Every structure is written in C-alpha cells, then in structure tokens.
Amino acid sequence: MVTSIASSLGAGSGIDIAKLVSDLASASRDPKVSRISGLVTANTARISAVSQARSDLVGFADSLEQMISDGSLRSKPTVSDESVLTATARAGLQADKFAATIVVNTLARAQSSYSGVVADKTAAIGTGTMTLTVNGVQKTITVGSTNNSLEGLATAINASGAGVTASIIADQGGSRIILKGATGAANAFTLTADSGADPGLSAFATDGGLSVGQSAANAEFTLDGVAFSRASNTIDDVVPGVSLTLKKAAPGQPVDLGASRPLDLIKQTVGDFVDVYNQVKKSLQAASKLSGVTTGLRELERELQGLVTKVATSHGSIGRLSDIGISTAKDGTLTVDKVKLDAVLAADAGAVEGLFNPLRDGTHNATTDPGIAGLLDAIRDKAIATDGTIGRVEKSLADKGTSLSKELEKVEVREAAYKARLEKQYSALDVKLNAFKATQAYLEQQIKMWTNSNND
C-alpha cells in the first residue's frame, strides 16, 4: 500500500483521496473494534448463561413453593357426611391424626331480637340513653335530638362496638329493628332503657317490647366420645391441622373423619424435583464453564447438591431427600430410586409428606424444620441477593459490559479524529500536487516554445 502511494505521488498522477483516507482509517480502526467486539460477544454470552441459571433457579424454587402453599402436596381430610360438617387442612398438618368420629348435637347460634312494627322509621321514638350489655361488657347507646328515630337507634348501636348488629327490616305496616349478636352462649345480650329515658325507648328494650327470635347457644359435639362445647361453628382447636365447619345438628348420627393422601402426586413431584434440579445444574454448569467471575457459580452448585443430605424436617422418621431414594450420581445430577421411594411411602407416607409440609407448632418452626421448599428458598434468596453468588456475577458482568462500551466509544472518538487528520493532511497534499502539476504544465509549455523558437 505504501509503495503504491509513493509511486502515485512520484508520478504526479490523480489520487482518490476519499478512498485512500478510508482505507488507512479502516486499517487502524477495524482491528481495535474487532477485538472489543469479541470481548463484548463473550461477555454477552456469560450474561445470557447466568441469566438462564437465575431464571431456572428462581422458577425451581417458586414452583415448589406454590405447590406446597396451595396444599397440593398435603393430605386432605375427608368426612363421611358433608351435610353435617366439612373439614379442611391447615398448615402444620399431621395426616395420621385425622381418623376420628364426630357427632354434632347442636350448632352454635347467635341471639337475635326484634321490635314491633314502627310505621315510620324516621319518626321520633324518644330520647335518652340505653345500656347494651354483651358478656358483662356495657355500652351506652344515646338517642338524642339528632338521631331520634328507629334509623338513628340502629346507627348508634352499630357504632358502639359492642359486637351487636342492628338492621332495619321492612315489614307489613312499617319497619322493625332487628338486633343480632355473635354466636355462642357467652355472647347473649341485653338492651335496657336507662332511668330518665323517654318511655318510648322501652319498646326497643329486651325487658320491654323487644322479642327474642333466637337464643344464643354454643355448638355441642363429641369427638370420639369426648364432649366439646364451642362458641363458633368453625372449630380449629380440636383436630391438629384441621379446621371443622359444623353445618347442621345431627344427634345420634356419627360422621367419620379421615384423610386422603396425594401419594401419586408426591411421587410425581419427587420425579419432577429431580428433573428440574438437573436442569438447573445444567444451566449452572454452562455458566461455570465460561472463564472469569462465573467460576464463582460452582459454590452455588455445591449448595444445591447439599439439598440431598441436609435435614429438612426433624419431626418424623424421614428428614432428608436421601431418605426417600434420591442420590447424587458421579456427574453431579440427581437420580431417584423408585423402589425405595415406594417402600418408604408404604412404611411411613406421613413422614414423606412432612418433607414438603413440615410441622408448625411451638417446637417446630421455619428454622428447625424448613422443609425442602424452605431449604431451596434460602438458597435462591441468598444466590440472587445483591451480594449473593449470582448477584455478584451479574454485577461484575454488567460492569464489564459498561467498561467495554466506554472503551469502544473512546476508540471510535480517537479513530474519528485520526481519520479527520488524514483527510486534512491528504487534502493539503492534493492541493500541493495540483499546484506542482500546473507548474509542470507551464514549464513544459515554455520549453516547447523555446524549442520551436530555436528551430526557426
């Protein structure tokens, strides 16, 4: 290239300045840009690999957490007659304690009282104070000039916070006020007119014109022959991990409480767990094979591998994944021994269930019994935190990308300036060359004239 340029200049021939400058600028710029572009491509590949690893890990933990939170892997209580009562599972379930026989003798009831018909619910009923008493707690109900009506009385009762609800119900000939308390015998109430109150208020007192439509009562039932009394028809404190809802009284009609275990779903989940784990490991290995900071991901691989032997729960005979037939192969992937899994489920299905649904009580908590999902969540949260394994790698790669972008910008600025200098230099050279050519042409013309003159 240099020899060609020199020859052209020496011969005084025309030069394509634009192409010459472009070729020289490209010869300087292209190798530098190519080097940086290669680094950007490699860094982008690392970012993509780490992003995939993050996505797989988060998806793994979230999907297992969702299955457990929605109760898919938890035994569900069954009842022989749902017209009498229903049962639902709660967190901390112990399925082996479901078996029981329940007899519902009476349902819990709330007291309801009602007044006689009032022709106009907005008409004056009398002023003064009344006392609303619920379970020994008294509330003062004031009827004054601003709320002297059936509607005003209802509003004052509802605002008292006594736990009694007042409603105005249309009836033939006018309206009634109906008062209703909470279920349970202890929540029976009285409403009395205080001394000095207008006589008209006695029409709305329980010892006056207010009639009792239904008396308050507790739910009475037996569980395996043991008598219980509760203020509510929803009962959470009799069968551990189970919420009972009493629907109708059925004395002498025993209802059997049992359990339905999701054994097939547990088996499927164990298999899915192994498959997804291996996919996450594959993603981490792909990221780890790249040079640089991604080698720190091997620490995360080791943490995940530790899931197999780490204690997930302490309240049963099964505490680790390795106890149900999951093991680590030579290549680091997980495998499941289906024969062992079936045998363990047959021997103690409740303990296997406990791996995914750990007990929650005064002794067992998220620290002592995290469950498989809890262990996996801890690994995920630690890894994707700003200072976690994945978080640190992502920041380092992002910083590297920013650095390369700035370096490329600097190269472009320098090369643009270099190209501008070349254009200026070769433009000036072209001007001088044109001047030389003009001088040459003039001299050639003079020499020719001299030669012709001498010949004459």
pLDDT digits (tens, 9 = 90+) for 18-64: 888 888 888 988 999 999 999 999 889 888 888 888 999 999 999 88
Instruction: Say how many domains are in the chain.
Output: 3
**Residue 308 falls inside a structural domain:** yes
Check whether residue 87 and residue 224 sit in a common domain: yes
Check whether residue 115 and residue 193 sit in a common domain: yes
97-101, 148-152, 196-200, 431-435: range with lowest mean pLDDT: 431-435
Q: Would you place residue 113 in the very low, low, confident or very high pLDDT band (cuts 50, 70, 90)? A: very high
Mean pLDDT of 79-108: 85
Please give the angle made by the CA atoms of 335, 349 and 244, to the nearest 5 degrees.
135
Check whether residue 173 and residue 271 sit in a common domain: no
**Residue 43 falls inside a structural domain:** no
Closest C-alpha to 372, from 282, 260, 266, 261: 266
pLDDT of 335 above 90: yes
Closest C-alpha to 205, from 221, 227, 190, 215: 190
**What is 305-367 written as a DSSP string?**
HGGGTS---SSSS--SGGGGTEEE-TTS-EEE-HHHHHHHHHHHHHHHHHHHS---SSS--TT
Q: Would you place residue 9 in the very low, low, confident or very high pLDDT band (cuts 50, 70, 90)? A: very low
Q: Residue 378 corresponds to which amino acid?
A: A
Check whether residue 325 and residue 355 sit in a common domain: yes
Distance from the first to the final alpha carbon of the chain: 48
CA–CA separation, 165 and 151 (whole Å): 13
Check whether residue 305 and residue 360 sit in a common domain: yes
Check whether residue 268 and residue 368 sit in a common domain: yes
For residue 289, give every residue at least 6 positions away whose Cβ sits within 8 Å of its Cβ, in sequence order, or none.
none
**Residue 209 falls inside a structural domain:** yes
Which residues span the domain enclosing 237? 76-107+219-260
Check whether residue 366 and residue 271 sit in a common domain: yes
| β-bridge mates for residue 243, sequence order | 88
Check whether residue 231 and residue 325 sit in a common domain: no
Check whether residue 95 and residue 236 sit in a common domain: yes
**Residue 128 falls inside a structural domain:** yes
158-210 pLDDT, tens digit per residue, is 999 999 999 999 999 999 999 999 999 999 999 999 999 999 999 999 999 99
Burial 343-364 (b: 16+ CB within 10 A, else e): ebbeebbbbbbbbbbbbbeeeb
**Residue 28 falls inside a structural domain:** no
Give the end of a domain, one of 351, 372, 393. 372
19-23, 129-133, 162-166, 256-260: range with lowest mean pLDDT: 19-23
CB 390 within 8 A of CB 300: yes
**Residue 440 falls inside a structural domain:** no
User: Does 425 or 151 have the greater pLDDT score?
Assistant: 151
Q: How far is CA 372 from the centre of its chain?
A: 17
Mean pLDDT of 297-306: 86
Q: How many percent of the chain have pLDDT more than 90?
A: 52
Give the end of a domain, one of 149, 184, 214. 214
Neighbouring CB atoms inside 10 A of 372's CB total: 24
Top mean pLDDT of 3-17, 52-66, 91-105, 225-239 is at 225-239
Q: What is the pLDDT of residue 291?
A: 54
195-205 pLDDT, tens digit per residue, is 999 999 999 99
Give the end of a domain, one of 232, 260, 288. 260
Closest C-alpha to 29, from 402, 410, 428, 400: 410
pLDDT of 451 above 90: no
User: Helix or strand or coil: residue 179?
Assistant: strand
CA–CA separation, 374 and 384 (whole Å): 16
Check whether residue 198 and residue 136 sit in a common domain: yes
Burial label, 424 (beta-carbon count in 10 A; 0-12, 13-18, 19+) = exposed
Dihedral sign computed on CA atoms, order 386, 387, 393, 398: positive
**Residue 21 falls inside a structural domain:** no
Check whether residue 95 and residue 223 sit in a common domain: yes
**Residue 363 falls inside a structural domain:** yes
Q: Would you place residue 96 in the very low, low, confident or very high pLDDT band (cuts 50, 70, 90)? A: low
For residue 178, give every residue at least 6 positions away whose Cβ sits within 8 Å of its Cβ, in sequence order, or none.
112, 113, 114, 115, 166, 167, 168, 169, 213
Give the domain CATH number at 158. Answer: 2.60.40
Check whether residue 278 and residue 363 sit in a common domain: yes
User: Does 322 or 422 have the greater pLDDT score?
Assistant: 322
Q: Backbone phi, then psi, for 224, in 5-degree steps?
A: 50, 40
Please give the angle made by the CA atoms of 306, 282 and 374, to the nearest 5 degrees.
35
Compute CA distances 115 → 156, 204, 209, 266, whole Å: 16, 6, 6, 58
